[in-house]
Amino acid sequence: MKVIDHLKDAKRTLFSIEILPPLKGKSIQSIFDGIDPLLEFQPSFIDVTYHREEYVYKKREGGYLEKVSIRKRPGTVGICAAIMNRYKIDAVPHIICGGFSKEETENALIDLQFLGIDNVLALRGDSIKTEPGFVPDPDGHHYALDLVQHIDKMNNGIYLEDDVKDMAPTNFCIGIAGYPEKHMEAPNMASDIKFLKMKVDAGAEYIVTQMFFDNKKYFEFVDLCRKNGINVPIIPGLKILTGKKQLTGLPKIFHIDLPEELYENVEKAKDDKEAKEVGIDWCIRQSKELIAKGVPCLHFYTMGLSDSTRRVAKEVF
Ligand code: FAD
């Protein structure tokens, strides 16, 4: 079932999660162990992130360094198929532009359709750590907008080989990312919203937000979207703060602000265990307010740690 249909049919705020593939060489059991404790809250869909290649330097005989491309967390598509097969829960693979030619993207989407996966979250992807900015594949998509347009064409039976007739239309529900605190590269909020609207106009049916810890930022973002003619559901993405280091780590990685009250309470915590309690309590408060305001779904970035998500879900669902 498509995410958009889950949202349309919902009589209450839905529960969904995002998980990461395990590190290469680890078993898929870690994925199941992360999902099982959350099944009682009936996740409507489960997103699985995509991780592109990284470059590392390996020391070789004679002391010279070889630049090697590695993918630390492969397996997104396989995990999605396994989730659908094992739990009968809709899986949403994240599809990124980076590292893919247009043809590879198209072939990956065909694989997804053949597996019965009819949801995707279309993203540009982050830049490789060793590169100063995002560099698309020479024959790949530059922006998530281009990817959305590509998928929308396939949904209308138009593939890259335009001389082949009678192509079967795909049937993807397309989700996209939105940033209540602005995407880090956007010169200002207005331009970010302009491109967000272009993605929606190109066929995206819902938005999932970057994590935020101040609900006000989410409500203001939704208002701004509505004023700019973006009328699709906007699903809040929530991360539970679980350790003291995240006070600096989360703003650095995700370009978000932490509210003063949260910062002070985590600072005061004597160790990570206490900091985690503060984070769980904060997320319960955030979730309750979001539900009271009638948000369509709460989407939890579990990062594979289900116990804190379980504690929040128990309080709010
Ligand atoms: P875009 O929508 O392409 O936007 C990127 C930047 O370019 C923005 O500043 C935007 O304002 C600007 N822009 C957009 N279109 C245009 C245009 N046509 N012309 C000029 N400027 C434009 N990353 C991963 O690698 N794997 C994942 O699984 C993953 N999952 C994510 C899930 C969510 C919910 C979120 C919020 C992010 C996720 N990311 C993931 C991170 C994401 O890939 C990065 O934030 C990336 O830098 C931007 O992706 P985007 O799809 O928002 O890009």
Ligand 1 atom with least separation from CA of 52: 25
Q: How close is the Cα of 179 to the center of ligand 1, in Å?
A: 9
User: Which 3 state secondary structure label does DSSP give 54?
Assistant: strand
pLDDT tens-digit map of 116-160: 999 999 999 998 888 889 999 999 999 999 999 999 999 999 999
For residue 21, the CA-to-ligand 1 centroid distance in Å is: 20
Instruction: Give 153-204 pLDDT, tens digit per residue.
Output: 999 999 998 787 889 999 999 999 999 999 999 999 999 999 999 999 999 9
Q: Which amino acid is at 99?
A: G
pLDDT for the residue 80: 98
User: Using a 6 Å cutoff on CB, does residue 53 contact ligand 1?
Assistant: no
Residue 257: Cβ-neighbour burial (10 angstroms; 0-12, 13-18, 19+): middle
Secondary structure of residue 135 in the 3-state scheme: coil
pLDDT (tens digit, 9 = 90+) per residue, 236-279?
Answer: 999 999 999 999 999 999 999 999 999 999 999 999 999 999 99
Across the strands, what pairs with 81?
none
Pairing state between β 65-70 and 54-59: antiparallel
State the chain's mean pLDDT as an integer. Answer: 96
Residue 122: strand, helix, or coil: strand
For residue 307, pLDDT beyond 90: yes
Two structure tokens written together for 211: 């994590």
CA of 177 to the centre of ligand 1 (A): 6
Question: 18: exposed, middle or buried (C-beta count within 10 Å: 0-12, 13-18, 19+)?
Answer: buried
Residue 211 has pLDDT above 90, yes or no: yes
**At a CB cut-off of 8 Å and minimum separation 6, what does 182 contact?**
188, 189, 192, 255
- Structural domains in the chain, CATH included, are 3-316 (3.20.20.220)
pLDDT attached to residue 310: 98
pLDDT of residue 132: 86
Ligand 1 pocket test target in 51, 183, 185, 198 with most atoms within 8 Å of CB:
183
Confidence at residue 304, expressed as pLDDT on a 0 to 100 scale = 82
37: CA distance to ligand 1 center in Å? Answer: 31
Identify the band that residue 215 occupies on the pLDDT scale cut at 50, 70 and 90: very high
Under 8 Å between Cβ of 110 and 159: no
Least confident of 129-133, 210-214, 220-224, 275-279: 129-133
Selection from 168, 208, 257, 162 nearest residue 46 by Cα: 208
Position with higher pLDDT, 64 vs 233: 233
State residue 191's pLDDT score.
98
The pTM of this model reads: 0.97
Cβ of residue 192 lying under 6 Å from some atom of ligand 1: yes
- Cβ neighbours of residue 156 under 8 Å, at least 6 residues apart? 169
pLDDT in tens, 295-305: 999 999 998 88
Range list of H helices, the chain: 3-9, 29-35, 76-87, 102-114, 144-155, 189-201, 215-227, 246-254, 260-268, 272-292, 306-316
- Please give the pLDDT value at position 14: 98
Has residue 18 got a pLDDT over 90?
A: yes
Cβ(71) – ligand 1 distance below 6 Å:
no
pLDDT number for residue 79:
98
- Whether 185 is in the pocket of ligand 1, judged by its Cβ within 6 Å, is yes
CA of 24: how far to CAs of 72, 76, 100, 113, in Å? Answer: 5, 11, 20, 25
Q: Is the CB of 147 under 6 A from ligand 1?
A: no
Pocket test for ligand 1, best of 20, 49, 96, 123 (most atoms within 8 A of CB): 123
Q: Give one DSSP letter per residue of 215-246, joined into a string.
A: HHHHHHHHHHHHHTT--S-EEEEE----STTH
